[in-house]
Amino acid sequence: MSRIVVTGANGFLGSAVVAALAARGDEVTAFDMAQGPALQAAAARFPNLRLVSGEITEWQHVVELLRRAEPDAVVHLAAIVGVVNSMAAPFATMRVNIGGALNVLEAMRLLGLKRFVNMSSEEIYGDFESARITEDHPCRPVMPYGISKFAVEQLARDYVRLHGMECIHLRTCWVYGPGLPRPRIPKTFIDAALKGEPLHMASGGDFRVDQVYIGDLVAGVLAVLDKTDHRFDAYHIATGASPSLREIVEIVKELVPGADLSIGPGPYDFGRGIATVRKGALDVSRARAELGYVPKYDIRAGIAANVEATRRALAATA
Ligand SMILES: NC(=O)c1ccc[n+]([C@@H]2O[C@H](COP(=O)([O-])OP(=O)(O)OC[C@H]3O[C@@H](n4cnc5c(N)ncnc54)[C@H](O)[C@@H]3O)[C@@H](O)[C@H]2O)c1
């Protein structure tokens, strides 16, 4: 049993990580500025889960959180997430993503806490130089989100070098599954298919990106927490494959017969003139060798699980 603080605990990843940690008996403190029904239901179910409401950019909130919890590790997930959100709010992105992480690192340093497990992103790489990249790929992030995520990694390395902390960065890619709060493929196509609504995108079908099912992401976080000595400070928690968006739409159509979906060829952009950088697959050899991490969900299995969960959720609200 460990004592773990999870920041961003109300989010898509955070709520899944909190539930998994609490279910296996860890003492979990879930920190977020919001506390939705799922988190509250988890707190009612698990006596070893404590909810703390607070703002990651507020020094007092962060110090008080860590002083009271005295965690063995902090899993840091709180952030303004996504390229589009960061373009809409670049100052807030820097304040929350970099300032928030610095509050956690500084408070940990002052309190003598050692383990910081940070959720990073494939956006730290900028344009991928090849179809599948390792953790040694150069980091040339563009746009505020990727820049903020890379800044946190680099700042944390100072805390390792100068203050003897242990900071591990999990670089994941497009995480999907039930509960994703943002409109993104495959969610948008799964939702449309199950509601019987048409969805036709003019372009984007040739875009390839590693898509990680939420269950695999959680398994990766637990594997990093459970390993005591890390030789590396960054791991890809992904699948090692990069299906095209066209392949994804085809899988949804197979799983939901009669779905009226299509996607045209060409690159993908986020809209509002924000093009994606070139992406691809994240090689997971290091995580496999060091952590025993083996993704269980290829894209077909992940979409099938997501379709079933969405079907159940729609039936429950009908
Ligand atoms: N979802 C993905 O595909 C993906 C991919 C790569 C990396 N990540 C990283 O994983 C982490 C979690 O992402 P997510 O998808 O769960 O996002 P999310 O938006 O669902 O969750 C983020 C959480 O952080 C909280 N938060 C934001 N600002 C805060 C503040 N100022 N104070 C306190 N709490 C605050 C939000 O309330 C939210 O619950 C982020 O660090 C993100 O960069 C996510």
The number of beta carbons lying within 10 Å of the beta carbon of residue 311 is 15
User: Are both 18 and 153 inside the same structural domain?
Assistant: yes
Q: If you measure from the C-alpha of residue 156 to the centroid of ligand 1, how many angstroms do you get, rounded to a whole number?
A: 18
Residue 245 near residue 268 (C-beta atoms within 8 A): yes
List the beta bridge partners of residue 115.
73, 166
Q: Which atom belonging to ligand 1 lies closest to the Cα atom of 120?
A: 7
At 264 the pLDDT is 97
Identify the domain containing residue 130 by its residue range. 3-175+210-236
Query: What residues does ligand 1 touch, defined as CB less than 6 Å away?
Result: 8, 10-14, 32-34, 55-57, 77-81, 96, 100, 119, 121, 172, 174-175, 181
Q: Kindly give the distance from the C-alpha atom of residue 80 to the centroid of ligand 1, in angstroms, as a whole number.
A: 6
Same domain, 232 and 258: no
Q: What is the pLDDT of residue 75?
A: 99
Q: Which residues fall within 8 angstroms of residue 26, CB to CB, at 6 or more apart?
A: 1, 2, 3, 4, 48
Angle between helices 299-317 and 245-255 (to 10 degrees): 50
CATH code, domain carrying 271:
3.90.25.10
Residue nearest to atom 20 of ligand 1 (CA): 11
Contact 150, 99 (CB under 8 A): no
Q: Give the pLDDT score at 1.
A: 84
Q: Are residues 21 and 154 in the same domain?
A: yes
| Whole-number pLDDT of residue 272 | 76
Burial state string for 250-261 with b = 16 or more CB within 10 A and e = fewer than 16: bbbbebbeebeb
Give the tokens for residue 124: 């730290």
Do residue 204 and residue 270 come from a single domain? yes
Per-residue pLDDT at 5 = 99
Number of compact structural domains in the chain: 2
Per-residue pLDDT tens listing for the chain (318 residues): 899 999 999 999 999 999 999 999 999 999 999 999 999 999 999 999 999 999 999 999 999 999 999 999 999 999 999 999 999 999 999 999 999 999 999 999 999 999 999 999 999 999 999 999 999 999 999 999 999 999 999 999 999 999 999 999 999 999 999 999 889 999 999 999 999 999 999 999 999 999 999 999 999 999 999 999 999 999 999 999 999 999 999 999 999 999 999 999 999 988 777 889 999 999 999 999 999 999 999 999 999 999 999 999 999 987
First to last CA, the chain: 40
Report pLDDT for 170: 98
